[in-house]
């Protein structure tokens, strides 16, 4: 059974939350970008936390049978987890403030996790 982008987003958000990711934000990019349906953006306060968040997201996605591509684990300043229709950006706090993807993609609507 194929996993929907909504299910994958929820799985990634749950994984990030489990590792105490800070200020998670999901952006709905449907109709705005061909890159992905959703971006999940969050940050950690240390290299170790950033790596733990990214590792947990990757693990959970792979458990669903999703092919995952990962970039940036070595430096742990900005880890990009490409899961196809969902792309997670796990930043170190300073990089998140600097790149400010939420502003860059301000046309996208935020998704509630309630």
Q: How many domains does the chain divide into?
A: 1
- What average pLDDT score do residues 45-67 get? 97
Could you list the residue range(s) of the whole structural domain that residue 42 is in?
5-111
Q: Tell how far CA 81 is from the center of its chain.
A: 6
DSSP letters for 86-114: EEEEEEEHHHHHHH-HHHHTTTSEEEP--
CATH value at residue 43: 3.30.460.10
100: pLDDT strictly greater than 60: yes
pLDDT band per the 50, 70, 90 thresholds, residue 2:
confident
Amino acid 112: pLDDT: 81
- What average pLDDT score do residues 66-92 get? 97
């Amino acid at each position: 059974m194929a996993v929907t982008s909504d299910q994958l987003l929820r799985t990634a958000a749950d994984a990030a939350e489990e590792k105490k990711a800070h200020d998670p934000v999901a952006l709905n990019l449907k109709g705005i970008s061909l890159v992905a349906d959703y971006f999940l953006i969050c940050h950690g306060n240390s290299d170790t936390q950033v790596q733990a968040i990214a590792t947990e997201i990757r693990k959970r996605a792979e458990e669903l049978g999703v092919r995952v591509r990962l970039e940036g684990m070595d430096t742990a300043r900005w880890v990009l987890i490409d899961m196809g229709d969902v792309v997670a950006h796990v930043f170190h706090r300073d990089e998140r403030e600097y790149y400010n993807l939420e502003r860059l993609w301000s046309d996208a609507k935020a998704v509630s996790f309630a």
